[in-house]
């Protein structure tokens, strides 16, 4: 095992189990989060805590950020008491959030000006993947920085892909989300149609789960949707954010994404139910189709 000291900024549903996996692998980990309860949880499994992102950077050789959106990454890296104020020359910042690729490139320039490296390494695989250490990790950055961070990334994920220079990881994640959300939308329509047409939903699911539509989403989220389980592995509000990023990237690149634009509107109808609705798992998209069809697709 490397003697690299790890800093971890952002202990949400994904970040906390990821930090635990690093500690279980033998790394020394210093954590920072605005939520004291999650910091205490991390300390309970062996992490050290810091009072700020800056203090985390002082104590670390590799600093991981895992926060919700572009402005949060900017704040924890370049804001007051941010990573740049404490970073040691020769360190590496790994941003594992899903953000605007341009923000990642801007942060890379600031980190490199401090004599350190930056890689973008967003993840896919949900909370289950974070807990099991089986995430797919999509990396952008120079080859030297990628090789240095690879032992750490291998603890967190089962499929590590170096996609190209800084920004490539964030771009890949945004495109990946369109595949995932389109699958959930198709499942939602199929389930509601099957239910309204009078099929036995368990028989229907068993019949199609290994067919041409087989996917991680169908295998993992399908049973939850049919049981009315909308507990979050990845929240509605985070998928809405990713769809916004996709729309912005599509605008910049002149790409037409009409299907994704429609799905964003369907999520907006879920959002209209209030904040609690946006904290549901993104499989709650089926609720929009159910309302349009006046039918609940349940077992």
Contact between residue 135 and residue 123 where contact means Cβ atoms under 8 Å apart:
yes
CA proximity to 27, closest of 11, 47, 51:
47
Cα 153 to Cα 55, 112, 145: the distances in Å are: 23, 21, 12
Q: Is 173 a catalytic residue?
A: yes
Q: Which entry of 43, 109, 173, 291 is annotated as an active-site residue? A: 173
CA proximity to 94, closest of 82, 111, 80:
111
User: What burial class does residue 294 get, using C-beta atoms within 10 Å of its C-beta: 0-12 exposed, 13-18 middle, 19+ buried?
Assistant: exposed
Considering only CA atoms, give the Rg of the chain: 20
DSSP state of 235: B
- Biggest distance spanned by C-alpha atoms of the chain: 65
Residues forming the active site:
173
């Amino acid at each position: 095992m490397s003697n690299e000291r790890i800093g971890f900024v952002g202990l949400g549903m994904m970040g906390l189990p990821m930090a635990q996996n690093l500690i279980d692998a033998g790394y020394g980990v210093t954590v920072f989060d605005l939520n004291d309860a999650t910091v205490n949880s991390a300390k309970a499994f062996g992490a050290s805590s810091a009072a700020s992102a800056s203090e985390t950077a002082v104590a670390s050789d590799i600093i991981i950020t895992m926060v919700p959106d572009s402005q949060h990454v900017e704040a924890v890296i370049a804001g007051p008491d941010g990573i740049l104020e404490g970073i040691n020359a020769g360190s590496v910042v790994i941003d594992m959030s899903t953000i605007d690729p341009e923000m990642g490139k801007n942060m890379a320039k600031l980190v490199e000006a401090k004599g350190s490296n930056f890689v973008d390494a967003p993840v896919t695989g949900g909370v289950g993947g974070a807990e099991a250490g089986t995430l797919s990790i999509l990396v952008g950055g120079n080859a030297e920085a990628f090789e240095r961070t690879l032992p750490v990334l291998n603890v967190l994920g089962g499929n590590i892909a170096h996609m190209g220079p800084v920004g490539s990881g964030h771009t890949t994640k945004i495109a990946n989300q369109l595949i995932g959300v389109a699958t959930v939308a198709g499942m939602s329509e199929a389930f509601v149609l099957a239910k309204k047409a009078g099929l036995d939903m368990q028989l229907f699911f068993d019949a199609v789960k290994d067919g041409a539509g087989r996917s991680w989403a169908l295998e993992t989220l399908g049973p939850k949707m049919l049981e009315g389980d909308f507990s979050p592995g990845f929240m509605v509000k985070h998928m809405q954010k990713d769809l916004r990023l996709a729309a912005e990237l599509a605008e910049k690149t002149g790409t037409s994404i009409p299907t994704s634009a429609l799905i964003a509107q369907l999520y907006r109808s879920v959002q209209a139910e209030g904040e609690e609705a946006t904290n549901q798992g993104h499989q709650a998209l089926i609720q929009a189709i159910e309302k349009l069809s006046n039918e609940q697709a349940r077992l």
